[in-house]
Chain A
């Protein structure tokens, strides 16, 4: 389970998973404050992959709104003590 510190600021373990032909990150697991917004995860991914165009989604066939709190996403879609966030890169579009 996510560690609960004395100040009860809860961190969530996020596991970033490449799908499609997206590059795999060297550092795919990290901790983030539950009170942070999902936008922070998306921005982190964008910076790590040097790409703006990302499709980010979780294992229940849905793409979270960037304003969602990470802790809410973990509580609803996390399992095995972590939140798995899938990402794919730009696909054919036009």
Chain B
């Protein structure tokens, strides 16, 4: 049993998988503002039977739109059919608020992946954004929509910065929240947890605690009932 005092705040790949599944289950049952995270397996050697399934968590096609000056952050997911129906065609699916906003802004979609970093031994958030026609958004456009993502805001928190890198599994350029320092603040989070959990519990809660920090950068909030469920 790992002793928290001597823990460095990082996870093995196997523990990441355990933590990811626990996080996804909790999210699905308690977070109704968003669709569920899906585990996408990416076995390194698909021809070998591997007890440790490599993969990542994926939550995609999140529609983040800014309505007006009153600034209600609204996230909706547009259901897509097999052939990627464009948002503007789904008048019945979009509610009035988004219809009004559509006149002034193109709707943007976000894909979020939580990927394990073998180098840092921690989860890493990858994201990309695109228009309804699939045209990718550049970082400055993302920053307009997610001001917490801007280099100004990030430099305030100094915990992380965004770089464009090749997605480790998909081999395409994605934006990534740099993970260095993650182990240290994860350790702090649990060291000062009044419940003083055993490592098994830490594992169950790891991704949740991690996401409470990282989610802020992309404007995603964890509802209290998820945090209170322990």
Contact = CB atoms under 8 A, between A and B. Distances in A.
Interface of A: 17, 19-20, 52-55, 57, 59-68, 72, 76, 79, 86, 88, 90-94
A59 B193 contact: yes
Contacts of A94: 180
Given A53-B158, A57-B192, A65 B216 contact: yes
24 contacts: A19-B188, A19-B192, A52-B158, A53-B159, A55-B188, A57-B188, A57-B192, A59-B193, A62-B208, A62-B222, A63-B189, A65-B215, A66-B216, A76-B224, A79-B194, A86-B192, A88-B188, A91-B181, A91-B185, A92-B180, A92-B181, A93-B160, A93-B180, A94-B180
B228 interface: yes
Nearest to B227: A62
B228 A90 contact: no
B192 A65 contact: no
Interface string B128-146: 0000000000000000000
A-B interface, 3 closest residue pairs, ranked by CB to CB distance from nearest = A53-B158, A62-B212, A93-B181
Nearest to B195: A60
Interface of B: 155-160, 180-181, 184-185, 188-195, 197, 205, 208-209, 212-213, 215-216, 221-222, 224, 227-228, 230
Given A66-B216, A92-B184, A93-B181, A61 B189 contact: yes
A68 B180 CA distance: 26
Nearest to A93: B181
Given A60-B227, A62-B222, A52 B156 contact: yes
A65 B211 CA distance: 11
Among A53, A55, A59, A66, the most chain B Cβ lie within 10 Å of the Cβ of A55
Nearest to A64: B212
A82 B116 CA distance: 37
